[in-house]
Amino acid sequence: MDEVKSGYMRIGIDASRTFEENPTGTERYAYEITTRLLNLPEARGHEWILYTKHKIQTSKFKFPSNVRTQVVPLKYLWTQAGLAARTWVDGLDALWVPAHTLPVFRKPGVKTAVTIHGIEYEWLPAFENPLQRWYLPLSTEYAAKTASKVISVSKFTKEELVRRMGVDPEKIEVVWEGMSEDAKVGEKEVRNVLEKYGLERGNYLLFVGTVQPRKNLERLIEAYGKLSSERLKLVIAGKLGWGYDQVVKLAGQLAGKVVLTGYIEDKERVILLKSAGIYVQPSITEGFGLPVLEAMAAGIPVVSSEGGALKEVLEIPGTGGKYAGVLFDPTDTDDMTDKIKLVVGDERLKKSLVDRGLRRAGDFSWDKAARETYNILVNL
């Protein structure tokens, strides 16, 4: 990565997803990178403008004096009209968009960076709309090809951008995601959460994420149904996104054994992770796979699909291809069952996976990601 250049810049950040009440993966990424980046000592040498859809509580989010917020109060065409106009009005030197789309009619000469989390459009609900099926790839390809720099959250996504869209690999920087500090929880809180969902510590499989087709949860429930253990439950922790009807139906057929929690707050997520027996990530594809990283950091053995960037997150550098988890083919339910059984029945393997996972988790940090993103922005 380039050395940081000197000189004042006025840098805008699309913060439309940054301060959501119930964040999913992309919103958490935007929040963690933005807030940490702005508090870097060297960031005080520049002016920063956060563009939001709504007024945020400045008492809750403390920013240095060189940071200001600007509400762009548009319901429609927020990026292509509202954000585009601000590049002119505010005389930006640079603009960073943490998720996919750049304004087309932006101020000439403004440098741009865009973070692309993945290009698996076929797994998005909007892809069923003919207009969106055309717009989603086109808008991402436009952003990737016209941005001064593209930030990719994994090597896998970088390779997909080059292979499927012909983006110049030299303009793509890979910046891995990190982990948030665990919410502080007491033993009483742990007991209350486990009682709430009817769980025993260490005696359930856990998945964390939005319930949607890409997560491959139907196969996970089918694989779980083939296990012989009577006490081992399956917990699917995350809000119901789209295309979830069959997941709910299959869970109902295993009444009392599959727990659908719905959306969970940070404390519950931390408790469920640290109290699980095994974390299972069945996704067909992932642009990164943050819950896998969080499970490793929590000291929980991981059984994971090899889809998308998951192998990359789990692979331990310098070990000749060793992984911090047991991998399976996401399209093969029997393979999924076999790999879960393997870990459930082998305490030595569990300990080895925990040790490897803790080691691998140390390679990822939001502070590191924020500093790398800062260096990209001031060198555009």
pLDDT attached to residue 10: 97
Please check whether residue 5 lies inside any domain of the structure: no
In a domain, 257, yes or no: yes
- Give pLDDT, residue 105: 94
Q: Which of 237, 231, 191 is nearest to 215 (CA)?
A: 237
CB distance 280 to 220 below 8 Å: yes
For position 3, what pLDDT does the model report?
44
Are 239 and 130 in a shared domain? Answer: no
Same-domain pairing of 113 and 46? yes
Residues 172 and 257 in one domain: no
74 and 191 both lie in a single domain: no
**270 and 172 share one domain:** no
In this predicted model, what pLDDT tens digit does every residue of 72-96 receive, in sequence order?
A: 999 899 999 999 999 999 999 999 9
Sheet holding 233-237, edge to edge: 258-262, 233-237, 204-208, 278-281, 302-305, 326-328
Range of the domain at 203: 187-361
Helix or strand or coil: residue 206? strand
pLDDT tens over the chain, length 380 residues: 444 445 899 999 999 999 988 777 889 999 999 999 999 999 999 999 999 999 887 667 788 999 999 999 998 999 999 999 999 999 999 999 999 789 999 999 999 999 999 988 766 666 566 656 677 788 899 999 999 999 999 999 999 999 999 999 999 999 999 987 777 889 999 999 999 999 999 999 999 999 999 999 999 999 999 997 778 999 999 999 889 999 999 999 997 899 999 999 889 999 999 999 999 999 999 999 999 999 999 999 999 999 999 999 999 998 888 999 999 999 999 999 999 999 999 999 999 999 999 999 999 999 999 999 999 999 99
Q: Hey, what's the torsion of the CAs at 300, 305, 308, 311, to 10 degrees? A: 60
28, 162: one domain? yes
Chain-centroid distance, C-alpha 69: 24
* DSSP category for residue 125: G
One domain, residues 39 and 138: yes
Please state the domain count of the chain: 2
What pLDDT score does 358 carry?
Answer: 96
Closest CA to 260 of 229, 290, 221: 221
Residues 93 and 165 in one domain: yes
pLDDT at res. 185:
87
Q: Both 265 and 374 in a single domain?
A: no
123: left (phi over 0), alpha (psi -120 to 50) or beta: alpha
- Please report the pLDDT score of residue 242 as a whole number: 87
Domain assignment present for residue 336? The answer is yes
Calpha distance 167→152 (Å, rounded): 12
The answer to whether residue 98 sits within a structural domain is yes
Together in a domain, 192 and 173? no
d(CA 305, CA 285): 8
Specify whether 197 is located in the same domain as 329. Answer: yes
Quick check: is 2 in a domain?
no
Tell me whether residue 89 is in a domain.
yes
pLDDT single digits (tens) 242-254: 899 999 999 999 9
Q: List the CATH number of the domain containing 191.
A: 3.40.50.2000
* 129 and 200 assigned to the same domain: no
Say whether pTM exceeds 0.75.
yes
The answer to the question of residue 4 being in a domain is no
Task: Tell me whether residue 147 is in a domain.
Answer: yes
